[in-house]
Amino acid sequence: MTTLAPVTTPHPSALLDDFNRADGGVGANWGGDSAFFSIVGNRLDAPTDDHQMTWNTTFAADQEVYVTQQSFETALRLAVRAKTTDLGWVSGPDICPDSYHQIIRRLRMDFEPAGLGPETLVECNGCKAYRLSVPRDHITWDERRIRAHVPGCAYILDALPGPTAGTKATQSQGVTV
């Protein structure tokens, strides 16, 4: 059984992407549905439906990701995704189910004190996603991060806007080295 130590070190200052650049596309480093995302006002602007973009390169065991929410214009979900260095996107049991339990514990630690209740661990496009509902009036949010502890895989926080049409959720998302 894999046991994971809590993250006690702050993230490094070097970022792979902080989205702090001129308005336009998100850039060639992002894959998936990146065409549906854009940079607006030096922040990542997400579409209103469930498009997801992914970083094009794989993550090592000592890397971590974080997301800082700037504002909410509609309900927002956060999905934790796992990516291995050789298998691409796979379901939780194919990697290490216990690792997901550790991540869920970390999410509960971070979100429940802020009044954000976790929903469920669900199957989503061939991988496990842990989703949380965020109240619309929860405008600001401290930085949240989860470190990749297991060799060959990393945990990514995806910011997904809610189902309300006609509005957008603006967020700043970064990946640390």
* Per-residue pLDDT in tens (0 to 9) along the chain, 177 residues: 444 444 445 555 456 677 888 999 999 988 878 898 888 888 777 776 667 777 776 655 545 555 554 444 443 444 444 444 343 333 333 333 344 455 555 555 555 555 544 444 333 334 444 444 433 333 233 333 333 333 333 333 333 333 332 323 333 333 322
Tell me the two tokens of residue 12: 């490094």
Distance CA 105, CA 14 (A): 27
- Contact yes or no for 131/46 (Cβ under 8 A): no
Give the helix ranges, DSSP H, for 51-167: 92-95, 97-111
Q: What is the pTM of this model?
A: 0.42
DSSP states of 18-76: ---S-SB---TTEEESGGG-EEETTEEE--SS---EEESS---TT-EEEEEE---SS-E
Nearest to 159 by CA among 59, 41, 57, 73: 73
Give the amino acid at 123.
Answer: E
Return the number of other C-beta atoms located less than 10 Å from residue 134's C-beta: 22
Q: CA-to-CA distance for 50 and 99, rounded, in angstroms?
A: 25
Angstrom distance (rounded) from CA 115 to CA 96: 29
> How many whole angstroms separate alpha carbon 80 and alpha carbon 60?
16
Give the model's pLDDT for residue 43: 78
CB under 8 Å, gap of 24 or more: what pairs does 60-63 form? Answer: 60/85, 60/148, 60/154, 61/148, 61/149, 61/150, 61/151, 61/152, 61/153, 61/154, 62/147, 62/148, 63/147, 63/148, 63/154, 63/175, 63/176, 63/177
